[in-house]
Structures are given as C-alpha cells and as structure tokens.
Amino acid sequence: MGLADRWATWIVVIALAAAAITWLFTGEIIRSVTILVVFCPCALVLATPTAIMAAIGNATRHGFLVREGDALERLAAVGRVVFDKTGTLTCGTPEVVAVVSLSDAVSRESLFRRVACAELKSEHPLGRAVIRGYGKGSELPPPEPQQFLMLPGRGVQVSLDGEQILAGNLELLRENAIDCGKASAAGRYLEQGCTVIYLAAGGELAGFLALSDTLRADAADMIVRARQTGVTPVLLTGDHENAARHMAEKLGITQWKAGCLPEDKLVYIEESQKNGCMVCMIGDGINDAPALKKAHVGIAMGGVGSDIAVDAADIALVNDDIKELPHLLWLSRRMMRTIKYNLAFSMTLNFAAILLAITGILNPVVGALVHNAGSVFVIVHSALLLK
C-alpha cells in the first residue's frame, strides 16, 4: 500500500506539470485537458486493495480468517515458519496413557484426582486431556481448586484442602526446590514421545501422568509442501528433548528446540528477525500468545486454540485444517506478484497515455476510455486470485 501511495503522489505531480507545460508550449488547452483526464491514477490506486481483497476471499474459502489486511503482504516475506507442537502439529486431544505414583502415601487414584484438580481451570490441551481422562474413570467430578495460578511454560499451582499442589514440568518443580530424583522413572515414557505432567504435593514429588498425543494425519505432508514454498519449518516445544526429537523425526523437521518456555520462543523469534529472517509463528495455546504477537505474522489454531492466542494472531485457522497452510503461503506470494504486475501495468499505461495526450494523438473521449480500461484490467487481473 505504501508503494502505491508514493507512486500515486508522483504521478499527480508529473501529470499536473505535464498539463501546464503542454498548454504553455502548444497553446492547445484540449491537450492539457486530455492529460488531466488520463492521468488520474485509478488503476494504480486499485492495484493493491483489489488484489488483497481477492486473496482474503480465497483464504476464507480455505478456512483462514485474516484479521489484518496487510497480513498476507507480510506473510509473503516470511522465510521461516515456527510451529508449536501440542494442538498445532498434533490433534490437540492427547490421552492419559499412564498414571504412576512415586510415593507410598499417594495412591494412583489420589494422584490422578490431584492432577485433575490442578488442571480443572486450565485452557491448555494437556490440561483438558487430564480432565477427560479423569472423567472416564470416575463418576465424581474433580474437586474445585483454591488459589489457581497459571504458570506459562511450566504448569499450574493450586491449593487443595490447605495443601499446595504443583502440576507441570521438571522446571516448575526445581524452581520450587522439589527433589526430582525419582523423576527418572518417566524416562521410558519420554523416549516413546509422551508428554509427562509431574505432580508435587506437600513439597515432595508424588508421581506423574504420561500423555500421548496423535500426530495430525496430514502434518508430515504439510511440512514437505511448506518447504517447497521456500520457507524453513522449525519446531519449538516445551516438551522433553526426547519427545521433541521423536516428533521432529516423524515430521521430517531438521530444526527444532525442546524445553522452550514462552520467553525462549520470543528470544528465538527476535534473534531470527534481527538476522534478517522474517518469522511466521503458528500456535494454539496461552503460552504461544506472546510469540504470535512478536512474530512477523502470527497464525492461531481457531478450533483447539485459546481465545488469547486467537486474539494475538494476525490470521486464524478456523477449522484447524493444517494442510491448508502451504496454500496460504503460495497465495501470499501470488498476491504480491499480482500487485507488482498491477502496479507496473497501471504506471506504464498512465505514462503512455500522458505522452500520447501531449502529442495530440489522444483526445479527451478516447483518453477517458483508456483510463477506465486500465481500471477494468486491474480489477479483472486481481479477481483471478479468487480461484
């Protein structure tokens, strides 16, 4: 839009000057009038917005809700696409596959009950999975937590019957001086690509839940096709290194980073953009909101994603159909080519018409037809993006 505005300004100055000079040197006011008729940069002004609106219409049919008009322009400049794992590359509906108690004083049922209590008010897909799993094995709902505190990138902290409960990753436990020596029992689940939620109650590690998520059926093919558009896919996840490596190998992603806190994702995006590589971030959870906002373009999963993530993003994938992402990348690049062709055509037509008007070849009537023909061409050319 800025490019079109700058050119439109200069065309107005050039056309007015040409009209005045032509009248001064030829004395034929009809030529000056013809210049004023043909110079109006309608085609130039229409070149960008018509292409953007057509591209947004195309994106909408493929399940994308574009919140900002220039989002597709920025997406065309992206060289790296950063993915969150849970809820983005996976279905976001993990299931509890193991409940392991590491304390003689805490039974498996009590452990599951406490984790469900801690996750009751969480919006994270893992928290929802815990509640679903608990509901399948218990007729009673989990108890209401007191003093619920969400700790982005780490887990949750609640109080239940006067007891402080921590549910999350090992970083959360270590920050609260919890002895994590027994946590090695979760190793075999981590090697299988599971995500583990550790529970600490009363200042001690009580056990953990292992959850396994299902990779989206079209995720691997999407990564291949996204790479064909010229972008580099990157996986940033808060999961354990083994789980992250397992997922990256299945998807064919060569660049990945495990154990990422929200601030780690921000740092990665900032460093990439400082090095001249524009980044598109795709995520779904509250943890991803800062990164979605910081990225050159943020895309949120509209179905499984949290409201905060959707609000922070520039584009929302309404139906969570991740396989459409390569189409959006191709569309943004095609839109920018269309805009450049429209600008080149409109400027060429304007300058040619002005020259013909100066020489007296064009009269006002023919000039008006040429002027409108240029606008029609730009609109029709932009409309091709709808397909």
Q: Three-class SS of residue 202? A: coil
Q: Is 144 exposed, middle or buried (0-12, 13-18, 19+ CB in 10 A)?
A: exposed
Which residues are 83's β-sheet partners?
Answer: 235, 282
* Residues noted as catalytic: 84
Q: Tokens 């000057």 identify what position? A: 17
Strand spans (E) along 226-312: 232-236, 255-257, 279-283, 297-301
Is residue 229 within 8 A of residue 79, CB to CB? The reply is no
Structure tokens at 331: 């569309």
235 φ, ψ to 5°?
-105, 120
- Cβ within 8 Å of residue 307, ≥6 positions away: none
DSSP 185: G
Structure tokens at 144: 């209401």
Write the DSSP assignment of 99-118 as a string of letters.
EEE--TTS-HHHHHHHHHHH
Place of tokens 């959006």: 328
DSSP state of 144: P
285 contacts: CB under 8 Å, gap ≥ 6: 84, 86, 87, 123, 124, 125, 305, 306, 309
What are the CA-CA distances from residue 103 to residues 7, 188, 260, 341 (Å)?
72, 19, 29, 69
